[in-house]
Amino acid sequence: MRYRNQNNIPIVLALIAINVIVYFATSGFSRNIFGLSSSIITNFGVNSITLSKSPWTIFTALFIHDGIFHILFNMLTLYYYGTYVVQLVGEIKFLIVYLIGGLIGNLLFILLAPGSFAVGASGAIFALGGVLAVMRPKLKVVLFPIPLPMDLWIAIILGFLLISFMGGIAWQAHLGGLVTGLAAGYILRMRERRRFW
């Protein structure tokens, strides 16, 4: 296992801080930390109908979360995936994978769920999971609530299946992010192997 400087981790903490600040700023409009007002979602969430008038929403949707549990789960996962990925590939590649994974996830959501709105960083986070599934597939982890150690790639795919097909979840964005991450992980792993040859 090859690690880079632990000082790279602040980029992950900065992303978490931005998401949390945006969450509390936007939840203040609805005065409810358990769900956003519809105006926040329609103005900043991604949607196929409003995208032509509000193209920035494909990006802003990555930083909007609909409820305390949504932001909590996403930020915990971002921390665990993100700190590992940034140590493997560095800050710039980490940020590229994160943002491109999130944007492609939102594009796939637009294509497969026309007329619906989506918010959240899940597509970007699944891109990080995809990178880890390819670069460190045999790393043993425990996936809550299953108390058995399993290979990381199994945990990420199983987590995708368990989370994505619950009601009200934008599985299309998850899928787009995951596929992006798998492709990025393959490219990064090939480059990593060349360094050792």
Q: What is the pLDDT of residue 1?
A: 35
Confidence of residue 178 (pLDDT cuts 50, 70, 90): very high
Task: Give the mean model confidence (pLDDT) for residues 53-79.
Answer: 92
Q: Model's pTM, two decimal places? A: 0.88
Alpha helices by DSSP H, 113-170: 122-135, 152-164
Residue 35 DSSP SS3: coil
What Cα–Cα distance (Å) separates residue 56 from each residue in 45, 52, 105, 160?
9, 9, 15, 27
Query: Taking 80 as the threshold, does the pLDDT of residue 32 lie above it?
Result: no
Query: Taking 90 as the threshold, does the pLDDT of residue 99 lie above it?
Result: yes
Query: Taking 70 as the threshold, does the pLDDT of residue 150 lie above it?
Result: yes
**What ranges do the domains of the chain cover?**
6-196
Confidence of residue 162 (pLDDT cuts 50, 70, 90): confident
For 6-196, the fitting CATH number among 1.10.150.130, 1.20.1540.10, 2.40.40.20, 3.40.1280.10 is 1.20.1540.10
Confidence of residue 133 (pLDDT cuts 50, 70, 90): very high
| Whole-number percent of the chain with pLDDT over 90 | 56
